């Protein structure tokens, strides 16, 4: 296998951000992570975690969840081998316009099923390292929390005498976030010992 750290860097850069490389010596534990990412057993676990409710969901390559499942063993092996040979390439994202309540559209970018498997596997391998950034008041995109835990927290605060609710949202955050700084923070965190 080629340099596994370089393979993980390349894979991360292809999907995450088209900005200059900022990996500078923070790859002490990347090779073992990349080796694990290549394992069919890890990719199968990732497949099991995927939301497969919409069997007709597909990415730009038009392969549906059902057609991927029909050839699951073959597809997992193919992904594993391409990762091992450092030949894996993400499929372009499929853009689907979603109508907004106040008019206009929001563009939903949908990855190919095979890319969802790889991204889920990567999340399984490194996601735990970012749990420390979860705030007690955050409920969206936080493992073990949901809109229901947010409602419960609001009710508890109201019952304890709090009378004000502040709802905040950063408009078009993911369009405007300084990706180079976010990526540098990601690298610092990912490069630190587990």
Q: Which two tokens stand for residue 125?
A: 């391998």
Read off the tokens for 63.
């392969």
Query: Is residue 58 within 8 Å of residue 65, measured between CB atoms?
Result: yes
Alpha carbons 146 and 143: distance in angstroms, whole number:
8
Residue 90: its pLDDT value, please? 93
- Tell me how far apart the alpha carbons of residues 13 and 6 are, in angstroms, rounded to a whole number: 10
State residue 96 phi and psi, 5-degree precision. -125, 120
Q: What is the pLDDT of residue 76?
A: 98
Residue at token pair 């390559």:
61
pLDDT at 126: 83
pLDDT under 70 in the chain at which residues? 1-31, 190-194
Residue 141 is predicted with a pLDDT of 82
What are the tokens at 189? 């965190």
Determine contact, residues 141/90, Cβ cutoff 8 Å: no
Instruction: Locate 113 and state its tokens.
Output: 């099923």
Query: Which residues, in sequence order, are bridge partners of residue 150?
Result: none
Strand, helix or coil at 149?
Answer: helix
Do the Cβ atoms of 27 and 186 come closer than 8 Å?
no
């Amino acid at each position: 296998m080629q340099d596994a750290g370089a393979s993980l860097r390349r894979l991360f850069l292809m999907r995450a951000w088209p900005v200059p490389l900022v990996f500078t010596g923070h790859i002490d534990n990347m090779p073992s992570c990349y080796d694990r990412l290549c394992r069919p057993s890890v990719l199968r676990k990732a497949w099991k975690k995927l939301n497969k409710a919409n069997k007709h969901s597909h990415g730009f390559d038009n392969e549906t969840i059902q057609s991927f499942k029909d050839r699951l063993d073959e597809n997992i092996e193919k992904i594993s081998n391409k990762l091992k040979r450092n030949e894996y390439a993400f499929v372009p994202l499929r853009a689907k316009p979603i109508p907004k309540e106040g008019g206009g559209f929001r563009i939903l970018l949908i990855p190919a099923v095979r890319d969802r498997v790889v991204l889920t596997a990567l999340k399984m391998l490194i996601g735990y390292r970012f749990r420390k950034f979860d705030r007690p008041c955050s409920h969206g995109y936080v493992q073990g929390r949901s809109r229901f835990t947010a409602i419960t927290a609001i009710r508890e605060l109201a019952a304890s005498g709090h009378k004000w609710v502040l709802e905040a949202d950063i408009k078009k955050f993911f369009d405007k976030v300084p990706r180079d700084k976010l990526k540098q923070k990601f690298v610092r965190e990912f490069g630190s010992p587990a």
